Amino acid sequence: MKKKIEIQKIIKLLSVALGIFVISKALAFVNLVRVQAYIYADDKSHAVTPYKHISLQSVLQKYGIPLGEADIVSKDVKKPLKINEIIKITRVTKEKKRINESVPFRMTWSRRYNSNLRKVELQKGVEKDSVKDVIETYHDGQFYAREVLRDRTIAKNFYRLALLTKNNKIEKIYDLSKAERMKMVATAYYPGDPLAWGDGTVTFLGQKMQRGIVAVDPKVIPLKTRLFISGYGYGYAGDTGNLIKGNRIDLGVNNAREEQSWMFRDTVVYILDPSEVY
């Protein structure tokens, strides 16, 4: 009977000891779960366990969280984490680019011609092109900053010709710096000129002879070509002549007096484009 009571006491003591052990382990687990720090990276939250003598860098390695050389960390990675501390890792990437930028044509001078077939405007201006070599920095995929490594700007000054409507709206623009140019010897003729073909009032194409009509050698400048002639203005290749061969042109003018000012003058002819109309 005495032995039975002693066995019961032993069992009771063992039960109490086991209960205390289980409770202590449970409390330790709960405490372990509560003792955490948080690392935010790549749009994710990582719950980690801080250790008093282990650096943040070691914790990152333990939990497989990579860290790039340029990445920004909100805490010194050599120091240990604290309980409930929040760490932010910002991913930093850099990209080298070449940026081409253009500043549109800015007019600095202009002159209108109204007497040759249609209204045109000769314009002088400047256009700028720049090439930049840059390094762009992104934080978590979002643009952050730009560093210019090299900046080259080329300014181009040139003339252009604008064809205008009757309401002075721009119909078409020609960049004269890109147009084909020819050095020509110019003469002139006028309606009723006795030296002109027929009576000088109708062109080879059957058009009315007037200022702006230009007689050309079709082998050099095709008929029905829009032109711009230095010192004369807009022109249209709409006529031919027996003496107009090679680099010769005959300019339609208003009268004999104006004809005299164009007696074998050297000029530059800009070839614009073919057109069925002026």
- Domain coordinates of the chain in residue numbers? 2-90, 94-173, 179-274
Q: Is the pLDDT at 32 greater than 70, yes or no?
A: no
Burial class (CB in 10 A: 0-12, 13-18, 19+), 59: buried
Are 2-90 and 179-274 in the same CATH fold? Answer: no
| pLDDT averaged over every residue in the chain | 89
Q: Is the pLDDT at 16 greater than 50, yes or no?
A: no
Q: Is the pLDDT at 19 greater than 80, yes or no?
A: no
User: What helix, strand, coil percent values describe the chain, rounded to 5?
Assistant: 15, 50, 35
Predicted TM-score (pTM) of the model is 0.67
Q: Is the pLDDT at 14 greater than 70, yes or no?
A: no
Average pLDDT over residues 29-45: 76
Tokens at residue 247, please? 């680099």
**pLDDT confidence of 5, banded at 50, 70, 90?**
low
Q: Is the pLDDT at 193 greater than 90, yes or no?
A: no
% of the chain beyond a pLDDT of 70:
86
* pLDDT at position 34: 47
As a whole number of angstroms, the distance between CA 33 and CA 100 comes to 56
As a whole number of angstroms, the distance between CA 48 and CA 62 comes to 9
Average pLDDT over residues 62-83: 95
CATH label, 179-274, candidates 3.30.9.10, 2.40.40.10, 2.40.50.100, 1.20.140.10: 2.40.40.10
In CATH terms, the fold of domain 2-90 is Ubiquitin-like (UB roll) (3.10.20)
Tokens at residue 70, please? 């340029």
Return phi, psi of residue 75, to 5°: -145, 150
Tokens at residue 252, please? 């339609």
Which of 28-32, 49-53, 82-86, 215-219 bottoms out in mean pLDDT, i.e. has the lowest? 28-32
Measured from the Cβ of residue 263, the count of other Cβ atoms closer than 10 Å reads: 9
Tokens at residue 42, please? 């790549």
Average pLDDT over residues 130-153: 96
Which of 18-22, 57-61, 150-154, 268-272 bottoms out in mean pLDDT, i.e. has the lowest? 18-22
As a whole number of angstroms, the distance between CA 59 and CA 77 comes to 9
Instruction: Report residue 61 CA to chain centroid gap.
Output: 43
* pLDDT at position 12: 57
**Is residue 55 within 8 Å of 77, Cβ to Cβ?**
yes
As a whole number of angstroms, the distance between CA 227 and CA 212 comes to 9
Burial class (CB in 10 A: 0-12, 13-18, 19+), 138: middle
pLDDT in tens, 224-257: 999 999 999 999 999 999 899 999 999 999 999 9
**Is residue 158 within 8 Å of 175, Cβ to Cβ?**
yes
% of the chain beyond a pLDDT of 90:
81
* pLDDT at position 7: 61
